[in-house]
Every structure is written in structure tokens, then in C-alpha cells.
Amino acid sequence: MVALEKKQLEYEYHDPKNDAAAAIKNVVGMGNKYLEIIDLVKKYDDFVALKGISLTINSGEFICFLGPSGCGKTTFLRAIAGLDHQTSGKLIQSGVDVSELQPNKRDFGIVFQSYALFPNLTVAKNVAYGLVNRKASKPDIQQKVSELLHTVGLPGSESKYPAALSGGQQQRVALARALATSPGLLLLDEPLSALDAQVRTHLRSEIKALQRNLEVTTIMVTHDQEEAMTMADRIVVMNHGVIEQVGTPQEIYQHPATAFVANFVGTTNLLPCTVIDANSVEVGGVKLNVSAPQVLLGKQALLAIRPEDIGARSINNSDTNSLDVLINEIEFLGSFSRVTLTHQSGLTLTAEFSMNSMRDLDITSGKSMKVTLPIKHIRLFPEEPSSPR
């Protein structure tokens, strides 16, 4: 285990002739282009894990790679670090081509999902690891370690051993170690996923605050959409080795570019439909008014509407897309309820109603009610070749 960890950390052996890292430090300014990823391909034999990914990240940004298991998030992060080199493509870090550089010649700090601390070294020695390799003086190292432990909320724990720390504390130490050499780029691979929910939420906001404070460009891998939504300046949604969409959490949620994104980020009703003309579709035997893009006319498509966008208040028969539905299951979720609704055609919808609506409209299982599907909340996507999730 120690051997493996050592290998993971080899990048921290700093080469004093590391020109790229030095050059990078000089050029960086908040908001400038910091990292350019150009047409990155990673193959494992015949399997293509990254299919020509391009992305530009600005300095000081907090980026989350979000996607289902196996979509290539870790592969992408490791290629950026040089821990697993890409098969083809380029990486430009602050104007310097680092594509072919070994990890120890690059400028980054990294935190892994499992606590890759040296169990036989104290907290202080773990944090100091990269600094020792840089031949920093003993007093400088001591001061830096003390500062970093303070920053991550573990002051005075220098002499403890990792085994004496909780999972959350170990990840704080790992974070301090990653930040010790003041890297220009912080890489986090699911750093919170092994922690229990409460610690995770707490550390989430702490890492975010720390990142803001240090203005360090950060890429975090996660498959937890809530984590990505709360922490990221921009989210990169990945699927099967490609980027599906890049945008702010709001953009990704409110304007998903693909059916996959609509379904993976948040929940959505995703219904197969036939686009009749520019203003209407047929879905499960029901005709709905929509605003359909030209390219989908006459085609099979997917209609998406978020559960919270299904309307339930003050509906008239003459309202657009009003449907009489039967209330089936009601799932109580605290401030709102998730309700399964069925139309006589067999069309099933999931809606979310606030507690106020549930009470005011007396929404109870077995009753009928009227709902609307507002045109402005309906999105149409081309049919996907594989299943959306």
C-alpha cells in the first residue's frame, strides 16, 4: 500500500530545473486563460476512454467534472496531471505546452478519493512531503506546515499519525499536503465521496471557501450532482468519454443541451414523442403545444419537462397543455412532495408540488386534478442512440 501511495506522490519530487512550473507561476492572473485542453484522446488498447476532449479553464475557476461511473472523469484528471499520459492531444498550462512533461515537472497538487496519506509518517511529515523534496529549510517547512494545518482546520495536529484521524480529518491533511507547494492547479478526485453525509457537506463549503480565498484554479471530479452544483463555477458534464455540456450550474440545470444532461442533472420527465409540426408534438397519445426546432420536424424525439415545472394552480380548461390526471403515488420529501400522475391515455408524469400547493389543492392519492405543461418549460431533444442514463 505504501509503495502505491509513493508512486502516486512521485510527482511531488520537485525538479529544481522545473522551467515550466516557474514560467507558469509568472503568467497567471485571475480570470485569464489558465489551462487549455486540446483534442485530448486517451485509449486503453482498443477502448477509447476520452474521445477528443477540448476545454479551456480560466485561472481561479472552480471546475467540476460531473458524470456517471466509467465516463472518463478520473482518466481526464490523470491526463491533466500527467499521471497517465494522453494518447494524443495537447495540454497548455499558462501558455506552456506541458503535454509531454512528467508529473514532477508540472505544477499541481492533487487529492485522491481514498486517503493517500503515508500511515507511517506524522501529519506534519505528510504535509511537508512536497516541501522537503523541494529542499525548503526546516524552519520554513515548520511554519508552512503550521499555517496549512491552521487553514484546513487542524491546528496543532502535527505529531498525530493518520490512523488517529477521522476520514474527514485525513482528507483535510491530504488537502493541506496538496496545497503545500502553492500549486497553480489543484486537482481533486472525488475527495469527499468516502465521507459520511454530514462531514461531506461541511467540508464541501470549507473547500469552496478555501479555494475562493487562495484563488487557486481547481478541478474536482465528482459523480454527485449536488456537490457539483454547490461548489462549481462551471460544470463539465461528461458521458462515455465526451463532454456533453459545459456551463454554470444554472445554465446546466435550466438549459440542458442534451437529453442526457436533462436527465442526469436534476430529475426530469423524459418522454418519447413524435414532432408533428413546429407547434405540436404527440406524446403517448396526447397532443401538446410546443415550440419545436426545425431539425426535429416530423421526427421521433424526446420531450423533457422538470417535475417542478408542471403547473397545478388556477388552471382553466382553455389553458394550453392542460391535462386531467389521476393522482397515484405521493412521496413526501419534506418541503415538497413528488407525485406520480397518470392521464387516461396512459401517459405518466412525475410532478413536484410544494407543501403549500399540496395543502391548498388538497392533493391526495386516488383523486383527480388538472395540471398544465407550460410551453416555456418544455424542451425537445433528438432521440439518443443509447439510453439517456
Ligand X SMILES: Nc1ncnc2c1ncn2[C@@H]1O[C@H](COP(=O)(O)OP(=O)(O)OP(=O)(O)O)[C@@H](O)[C@H]1O
DSSP 182: -
Q: Is residue 217 involved in binding Mg ion (CB under 5 A)?
A: no
134 interacts with, out of ligand X, Mg ion, none, CB within 5 to 8 A per kind: none
Q: What residues pair up with 332 in beta bridges, in sequence order?
A: 337
Give dist(CA 344, CA 299) in Å, integer: 25
Contact characters 31-50, ligand X, x per CB under 6 A: -------------x--x-x-
Among residues 70 and 155, whose Cβ is nearest to Mg ion? 70
CB nearer ligand X, residue 72 or residue 388: 72
Beta strands in the chain (DSSP E): 33-44, 47-58, 62-66, 88-93, 96-97, 109-111, 185-189, 217-222, 234-239, 242-247, 269-277, 280-283, 286-289, 300-305, 322-332, 336-343, 348-354, 368-372, 379-382
Q: How far is the CB of 44 from ligand X (least distance, A)?
A: 3
Nearest residue (CB) to ligand X, 44 versus 212: 44
Contact 323, 308 (CB under 8 A): no
Is residue 222 within the footprint of Mg ion (CB under 5 A)?
no
Q: How far is the CB of 177 from ligand X (least distance, A)?
A: 21
Among 59, 75, 169, 218, binds ligand X (CB under 6 A): 75
Size of the site for ligand X (CB under 6 A): 12
Residue 69 makes contact with ligand X by CB under 6 A: yes
Contact status: 211 vs ligand X (CB under 6 A): no
- Tell me how far apart the alpha carbons of residues 118 and 165 are, in angstroms, rounded to a whole number: 13
SS3 (DSSP) at 338:
strand
**122 sits near Mg ion (criterion: CB under 5 A):** no
For Mg ion, the closer CB: 11 or 112? 112
Candidates 59, 74, 268, 350; binder of Mg ion (CB under 5 A) is: 74
Between 134 and 223, whose beta carbon lies closer to ligand X?
223
Among Mg ion, ligand X, none, residue 69 binds (CB under 5-8 Å by kind): ligand X
Helix 197-214, helix 167-179: angle, nearest 10: 20
Q: What is the enclosing helix (H) or strand (E) of 178?
A: helix 167-179
Round to whole Å and give the CA distance between 269 and 303: 8
Identify which of residues 67 and 130 has a Cβ nearer to Mg ion in the complex: 67
44 binds, among ligand X, Mg ion, none (CB under 5 to 8 A by kind): ligand X
Hey, which residues does 217 pair with through a beta bridge?
185
**Judged by CB, which is closer to ligand X: 46, or 362?**
46
Q: What's the closest the beta carbon of residue 360 comes to ligand X, in angstroms?
A: 42
Backbone angles phi, psi at 236, to 5 degrees: -110, 110
Binding interface with Mg ion (CB under 5 A) = 74
Given the rule CB under 6 A, which residues bind ligand X?
Answer: 44, 47, 49, 67, 69-75, 223
